[in-house]
Structure 1
Amino acid sequence: MARYICEPCGWIYDETVGDPEHGLPAGTLFEDIPEDWECPDCGIDKEFFTRLPD
């Protein structure tokens, strides 16, 4: 499982945790997140997230 950071605001998406408040259960891979999903903190598109080193 990987973690991804929103470059503009620093919010981290952790695949082990998911984003249950926005319909992404724990274990949801970043690549499986719908393209129209947005950062819960700043609303930026998924394309502005970068994978963090393991």
Structure 2
Amino acid sequence: MDSYRCGLCGYVYNPRAGEPGSNVAPRTEFGDLPETWACSRCGAEKNLFRKV
């Protein structure tokens, strides 16, 4: 499971943890997030994230 970093604010999406506050279950791969998903910190679009 790969983590992805926001290119604007540096937030790291960790698929092992998911985002319980955003209704994203643990173990949800980044590629499985909907295209409408955005950074929970700054609101950046999914395409601005890069694998770390």
TM-score, normalised by the number of residues in structure 1: 0.92
Q: Name the Cα RMSD after superposition.
A: 0.5
Measure, in 2, the Cα distance between the counterparts of 1:45 and 1:7. 10
Q: What is residue 27 of structure 1 aligned with on the other side?
A: 27
- Give the TM-score taking structure 2 as reference length: 0.95
Gaps of 5+ in 1: none
Compute the displacement of 1:21 (Å): 0.7
Structure 1 segments of 4 or more deviating over 4 A?
none
d(CA) in 2 for partners of 1:51, 1:37: 16
Q: Which amino acid aligns with 2:27?
A: G
- State the number of aligned residues: 52
